[in-house]
Chains A and B, each alone.
Chain A
Amino acid sequence: MRYPFPVGKSDFIQGDEAIARAAILAGCRFYAGYPITPASEIFEAMALYMPLVDGVSIQMEDELASIAAIIGASWAGAKAMTATSGPGFSLMMENLGYAIMTETPIVVVDVQRSGPSTGQPTLAAQGDVMQAIWGTHGDHSLIVLTPATVQEAFDMTIRAFNLAEKYRTPVILLTDAEVGHMREKVDIPNPEDIELVYRKLPANEEEAKYPFGDIHGDLIPPMPIFGKGYRTYVTGLTHDEKGRPKTVDAEIHRKLIERIVNKIEKNKKDIIDYETFELDDAEVAIISYGIVARSAVRAVKILRSEGIKAGLLKLNVVWPFDFDMIERIAEQVHAIYVPEMNLGQLYHLVKEGANGKARVDLIPKIGGEVHTPQEIVREVKKCECGV
């Protein structure tokens, strides 16, 4: 197959562009979107590439329609993606919940800008963490990935599709204007070297009768896509294993929702991804994600050079969340610092994870700029040295 961009070599491209190329290499053949800064470049790249690879790129009337269209496309058998930023992401919450309830594999990219409301369209923020995890209503779970570099934006886009297909769930690629608009060198592998995952399809008629049942004991039902003769009914209402609406039966509701949550929770080990830096003997820990983690690496180096034994935990996945790991870190260190480009979102999860075993301090920053390493150093030193 011919690709409309170089493969098997490196290129110097924007984060948004990297996400679009990775999506195509991951097998995405349906993109629906609505323009919004700073995510529009993803759409523009998809618009350029999709017709050439016999995929579809379509500009919908709004964000509600965009996510609706990709859910429809997914049931028609396509790997599908949309991208947006905070205000548009808010509009998608209704149908994000529908995708969770109907166990539809889709990828939603949120290139964060600041809010609330229209906020700062061209500047970066990390204010959508809680929206990504808990934005839609009801009890649910999903997967949220947080790239810090353009290369990670590329790699994690492919992973986002693989996780969506594997767990039959929406996956959010939660990046920001800084990563989205920054240009960096990206290694683009040969397509044959990329490991791709495809959704489990029903093996036979019998399996197809239970599109929402745990027939393999792995909590993930095979997905009978439309037009294959299985005649599946899909509804956002509480449904039984066959997909029949059962809206007033507490037991059926409990069983369905617990399975949807547990298929993520029980596979945490497979999904969660993180990196550590100088954490083994650390006495203070910095926990960070996305663009801010890059400043945090430098901050750790500076702190170490000044005699403070600091270490970093960089989260590549912010949901599902490894509360136990945070508690283990909290038992080892006496303080945890959470630098975030917001007034405290991941901070709450870290504090819950630390479970009182260590002090947890937020290092907030809003207004559109990434923390400098010195700012993180200054805040840590202020507390550590009592300055």
Chain B
Amino acid sequence: MRFKLSYEIRDKYLRKDMLPTIFCPGCGIGSVLQYTLRAIDELGWSKDEVVWVSGIGCSSRVPGFVDFDGLHTTHGRALAFATGIKMANPDLKVIAFMGDGDTAAIGGNHFIHAIRRNLDVTVILINNFTYGMTGGQVAPTTLKGLRGTTAPYGSFENPFDIAELAVAAGANYVARWTVFNYVQGINSIKKALQKKGFSLVEFLSPCPISFGRRNRMKTAPELIKWYNKITVPISKAKNMSPEELKDKIVIGEFVDRDRPSLNEEYEEYKKRAKKMMGWEE
């Protein structure tokens, strides 16, 4: 793979009048945004055929910075809005750029149902284990014992494994990387974008300001070291015992399949309806 200069990507895809971004020093959202734009660039997709949808939170501000049609919606509801966009105009390619709270807490129900339907959308998920924009409260992904402003003594709840949840709900493509898995990340996004049906690429993304600072990891490099410690490649994880996998996060490609997408199913449904009504043979 030959990489274009970051400046080329920036000049081609970002809205200059929206810069600088709102993101804090050390934040991983910009990196994931760059991977997504590189994937789109390598696929040669036009800016006019892609719609970006988001909910609320730091990662949800991304559609504002990119020069595409974009719908910045309400907290957790991005995929419900995306359902309307994609079903009303199947020619549009839809990317939902979401955070972990957005996806798994307030939007949990929309998330599992979008996957169950196999909605033709690619979710790019920023998982930073925290509610960054509102100041570092715990999220449904916060690992047990880690601190947030609403769990100052360390989270006492079980966290969600969003990628596993997506696999179980029926997604066509699911992968998880840290933001430091540059090449794998871009390749996964490319795969996900080309996939019909629901695809998810989750990124463990550093939030030194709201999350790291409260958990003795004040800088991005400290978070990188921590990710190295807690992540296990999926190939290696297969040979590990549940005890060994405790407190580890598996990264890699979880599933790659081609179940019929919602749009394909609906086309068939329309044909069936007309046939049953005797309108068509």
Tally the A-B contacts, defined by beta carbons under 8 Å. 143
Using A65-B77, A80-B84 as known contacts, say yes or no to A72 and B53 having CB atoms under 8 A apart.
Answer: yes
Q: What is the 8 Å Cβ interface bit string for chain A, positions 35-73, against chain B (1 contact, 0 not)?
A: 000000000000000011010101011101110111111
Give chain A interface residues in 219-266, CB to chain B under 8 Å.
226-237, 242, 244-245
Q: Report whether A69 and B69 are in contact in the complex, using a CB–CB cutoff of 8 Å.
A: no
**Contact check: which of A32, A78, A229, A232 meets B70 at CB < 8 Å?**
A232
Q: Report whether B87 and A69 are in contact in the complex, using a CB–CB cutoff of 8 Å.
A: yes
- By beta carbon, the residue of chain B nearest A54 is B270
**Contact check: which of B64, B80, B85, B89 meets A235 at CB < 8 Å?**
B64
B259 interface contact, C-beta 8 A? no
Q: What is the 8 Å Cβ interface bit string for chain B, positions 43-69, against chain A (1 contact, 0 not)?
A: 000011101010000000101100111
**Contact check: which of B80, B89, B113 meets A226 at CB < 8 Å?**
B89
Give chain B interface residues in 199-226, CB to chain A under 8 Å.
none
Bound together, the chains give a CA A267 to CA B68 distance in angstroms of 33
Q: Report whether B89 and A65 are in contact in the complex, using a CB–CB cutoff of 8 Å.
A: no
Q: Report whether B83 and A72 are in contact in the complex, using a CB–CB cutoff of 8 Å.
A: yes
Interface residues on A, range: 35 or more
Interface residues on B, range: 35 or more
Bound together, the chains give a CA A251 to CA B69 distance in angstroms of 26
Q: Report whether B84 and A30 are in contact in the complex, using a CB–CB cutoff of 8 Å.
A: yes
**Contact check: which of B18, B88, B109 meets A78 at CB < 8 Å?**
B88
Q: Report whether A56 and B64 are in contact in the complex, using a CB–CB cutoff of 8 Å.
A: no
Q: What is the 8 Å Cβ interface bit string for chain B, positions 67-84, against chain A (1 contact, 0 not)?
A: 111111110010011111
Q: Report whether A77 and B89 are in contact in the complex, using a CB–CB cutoff of 8 Å.
A: yes
Using A54-B270, A61-B113, A65-B113 as known contacts, say yes or no to A73 and B80 having CB atoms under 8 A apart.
Answer: no
Which residues does chain A contribute within 8 Å of B279, judged by CB atoms?
A: 2, 52
B269 interface contact, C-beta 8 A? yes
B273 interface contact, C-beta 8 A? yes
Q: Report whether B84 and A72 are in contact in the complex, using a CB–CB cutoff of 8 Å.
A: yes
Bound together, the chains give a CA A64 to CA B81 distance in angstroms of 10
Q: Report whether B113 and A234 are in contact in the complex, using a CB–CB cutoff of 8 Å.
A: no
Bound together, the chains give a CA A103 to CA B70 distance in angstroms of 15
A325 interface contact, C-beta 8 A? no
- What's the least CB distance linking B267 to chain A, in Å? 10
Which residues does chain B contribute within 8 Å of A51, judged by CB atoms?
A: 269-270, 272-274
- By beta carbon, the residue of chain A nearest B68 is A231
B110 interface contact, C-beta 8 A? yes
Bound together, the chains give a CA A244 to CA B73 distance in angstroms of 14
- By beta carbon, the residue of chain B nearest A62 is B109
B105 interface contact, C-beta 8 A? no
Q: Report whether B70 and A233 are in contact in the complex, using a CB–CB cutoff of 8 Å.
A: yes
Using A51-B274, A52-B274, A244-B17 as known contacts, say yes or no to A226 and B81 having CB atoms under 8 A apart.
Answer: no
Q: Report whether B269 and A72 are in contact in the complex, using a CB–CB cutoff of 8 Å.
A: no
Which residues does chain B contribute within 8 Å of A74, judged by CB atoms?
A: 84, 88
- What's the least CB distance linking B277 to chain A, in Å? 6
Q: Report whether A68 and B74 are in contact in the complex, using a CB–CB cutoff of 8 Å.
A: yes
Bound together, the chains give a CA A245 to CA B22 distance in angstroms of 11
Q: Report whether A236 and B73 are in contact in the complex, using a CB–CB cutoff of 8 Å.
A: yes
- What's the least CB distance linking A242 to chain B, in Å? 8
Q: Report whether B84 and A70 are in contact in the complex, using a CB–CB cutoff of 8 Å.
A: yes
**Contact check: which of A30, A80, A236 meets B72 at CB < 8 Å?**
A236
B266 interface contact, C-beta 8 A? yes
Using A68-B73, A68-B74 as known contacts, say yes or no to A76 and B64 having CB atoms under 8 A apart.
Answer: no
B91 interface contact, C-beta 8 A? yes
B249 interface contact, C-beta 8 A? no
**Contact check: which of B72, B110, B272, B274 meets A61 at CB < 8 Å?**
B110
A319 interface contact, C-beta 8 A? no
B92 interface contact, C-beta 8 A? yes
Using A30-B88, A69-B83, A227-B69 as known contacts, say yes or no to A52 and B64 having CB atoms under 8 A apart.
Answer: no
**Contact check: which of B71, B87, B109, B273 meets A58 at CB < 8 Å?**
B87
- What's the least CB distance linking A88 to chain B, in Å? 14
Which residues does chain A contribute within 8 Å of B82, judged by CB atoms?
A: 72
A119 interface contact, C-beta 8 A? no
Most buried by A among B18, B48, B73, B92: B73
A4 interface contact, C-beta 8 A? yes
A169 interface contact, C-beta 8 A? no
Which residues does chain A contribute within 8 Å of B277, judged by CB atoms?
A: 4, 52
- By beta carbon, the residue of chain B nearest A234 is B71
Bound together, the chains give a CA A296 to CA B49 distance in angstroms of 55
Bound together, the chains give a CA A61 to CA B112 distance in angstroms of 10
Q: Report whether B71 and A72 are in contact in the complex, using a CB–CB cutoff of 8 Å.
A: yes
Using A52-B274, A237-B72, A244-B17 as known contacts, say yes or no to A75 and B85 having CB atoms under 8 A apart.
Answer: yes
* Nearest 3 A/B pairs, CB to CB: A72-B84, A68-B80, A69-B84
29 residue pairs of the A-B complex, CB under 8 angstroms, read A30-B84, A51-B272, A51-B273, A52-B270, A52-B279, A60-B113, A64-B77, A68-B73, A68-B84, A69-B80, A69-B83, A69-B84, A69-B87, A73-B85, A73-B88, A74-B84, A74-B88, A75-B85, A76-B89, A77-B88, A94-B74, A95-B74, A227-B91, A231-B48, A231-B69, A233-B72, A234-B72, A236-B74, A245-B72
